[in-house]
Amino acid sequence: VTNGGKTTLAEKLKKMLPNCDIISQDDFFKPESEVETDERGFKLYDELDALYMDEMVKSIHNWMKRPASSGVVTEEMQNTRDNLKNGDDVYILIVEGFLLYNYEPLNELWNRRYFLTLPYEECKRRRSTRVYQPADTPGYFDGHVWPMYLKYKNELEENSSNIVYLDGTKSQEELLSRVYSDIIQELKKLKE
């Protein structure tokens, strides 16, 4: 969901996890001139066609061939390394975005999937506090953003499994704790 806390969660996880990088779907938006406009004049940013998804897949595959991390080790990262008690480094890539699980070429890559949800009123409130370039036009949230969220969420619920749905109204700390714990368990399994 838009404004659900995806980027914030990813950035906090990166600070806590060793050998961790982020690829953000927002970095793959097409320029405004290449994004289609509907009959109401709304730019259709909340659709896969508004993104260079092939480029995103290439970036992920390139990272997988040669994973790298920032090289900065925080105290939290060192504690995580110590707790895992194995010298073999595991590299973690967090891919964050809003239409990731609806793009079939990516679905074979995920170890874990998380989907942040928000109720309509909270989502609209948060969206109204953000500044976008180009700016949201009047009626854009109700006329395009929210309907597209519901469409893609329904597709996921019908066609995908192994997705953990997270309540975006929970505190950042609670969400972080939940996902961090899951990742640590996954890392322990990989190291066994």
pLDDT at 187: 87
Q: Is 90 exceeded by the pLDDT of residue 78?
A: no
Q: Which residues fall within 8 angstroms of residue 187, CB to CB, at 6 or more apart?
A: 84, 90, 92
Sketch the domain layout of the chain as residue ranges: 6-66+90-190
Q: Which two tokens stand for residue 55?
A: 């480029």
pLDDT at 49: 96
Query: Quick one: which of 92, 91, 112, 85 has its CA closest to 101?
Result: 112
What residues are labeled active site?
26
Which pairs from 153-160 meet CB under 8 Å and 24+ separation? 153/1, 153/115, 153/117, 155/102, 156/101, 156/102, 156/115, 160/101, 160/107, 160/113
Task: Give the DSSP H/E element, type plus range, for residue 92.
Answer: strand 92-96
Confidence of residue 87 (pLDDT cuts 50, 70, 90): very low
pLDDT at 83: 57
- Residue range 164-190: average pLDDT? 94
Measured CA to CA, the distance from residue 135 to residue 41 in angstroms comes to 13
Q: Under CATH, which number does the domain 6-66+90-190 receive?
A: 3.40.50.300
Measured CA to CA, the distance from residue 59 to residue 106 in angstroms comes to 12
Q: Is 60 exceeded by the pLDDT of residue 84?
A: no
pLDDT at 181: 96
Query: Quick one: which of 109, 85, 99, 10 has its CA closest to 46?
Result: 99
Q: Is 80 exceeded by the pLDDT of residue 68?
A: no
- Residue range 121-148: average pLDDT? 92
Task: Give the DSSP H/E element, type plus range, for residue 173.
Answer: helix 172-191
Q: What is the mean pLDDT of the chain?
A: 89
User: CB-side exposure of 126: number of CA atoms within 13 Å?
Assistant: 16
Measured CA to CA, the distance from residue 128 to residue 109 in angstroms comes to 34
